[in-house]
Amino acid sequence: MAVSSVFRPGLFNNKVAIVTGGGTGIGKAISAELLELDSLWLTTLSPGCSVVISSRKADRLEAAAQEMSQKIPASSPASVTPLPCNIRNEDEVKELVSSVLKRYGRIDFLVNNGGGQFSSPAEHMSSKGWKAVIDTNLTGTFHCCQQGEMLTANSGSLHGGVIVNIIADMWKGFPGMAHTGAARAAVDNLTKSLAIEWAASGVRVNSVAPGTIFSKTAMENYKELGPDLFKMSVPFSPAKRLGVPEEISSAVCFLLSPAASYISGDTLRVDAGQSLYHSMWEIPNHSAWPEAPEGENLDALKELLSPQSKL
């Protein structure tokens, strides 16, 4: 693999994972690291990890699966399987889960990375555009989680399984993409709710909130805005650089691993402190707000901001 995992090989032996949106960007990096952890230094006698990648675009999915398969050593039992699925469609999600259970007999990990959005001021968003993003990023994640609870609790695993939802840095709102900000905030709350409801099934549910993460496919998704959007994001990171998908995949692997066995209902921010820093959204100087109440404090404020000349 192009990037080596910090975790030990064989960590996820004999595990089965579904990664939605697994053909590009963050999802692809997660899938590749899961495969790497079970493809190094293993023999055909050792059970490997089976990774099922899913998204709407079958051609892109097939290409990603072929690329990842070529990097798995011939002696390794690790495997990657592409299964197209539109997570907005509940029946397709049910079919995805059913197909994986028929093929492998179990599912241990579910990574809900599938999603999408477009840049637009809220006043220009159509109802159709708003609904498309909500249906994908929120409702689609819910469909997968709902099936995920059933599969992890009944897949033969003694201790349920693990769900990780990929959300976003939406803690200061998400101006310019209000639809995905609302959806991701809802998934953060959904994660907390499900962690409690499904604790008795042994299912852990957590989220990862990436900061601004650069990938070639992400830049292409925003078309002509892509290069400028990512370039202008750099000063707003305390690290003064952008993250890459491989920095998210390692956090996801940690939450899937036994090292996180006592973590559930939490959201791990992987953003170099971006969520603590200032916003990219520029507010121009204006006088649109009503003036503050009159009195000595307002008078002192005016004097502070516009002191009278002493001449």
What's the CATH number for 16-305?
A: 3.40.50.720
Domain ranges of the chain: 16-305
The DSSP output letter for 308 is: P
CA separation for the pair 225, 120 (Å, rounded): 11
Question: By three-state DSSP, how is residue 43 classified?
Answer: coil
Query: What is the rounded distance in angstroms from the CA atom of residue 233 to the CA atom of residue 213?
Result: 10
Beta bridge partners of 54: 20
Tens-digit pLDDT profile for the chain (311 aa)? 456 777 777 788 889 999 999 999 999 999 999 988 764 444 444 456 899 999 999 999 999 999 999 988 777 778 999 999 999 999 999 999 999 999 988 899 999 999 999 989 999 999 999 999 999 999 999 999 998 766 555 545 546 799 999 999 999 999 999 999 999 999 999 999 999 999 988 999 999 999 999 998 888 888 888 888 899 999 999 999 999 999 999 999 999 999 999 999 999 999 999 999 998 888 999 999 999 999 998 899 889 988 776 65
Name which of 19, 4, 26 is nearest 217 in CA terms: 26
Sheet of 16-20, strands arranged across: 79-82, 50-54, 16-20, 109-112, 162-166, 204-210, 267-270
Q: pTM for the whole thing?
A: 0.90
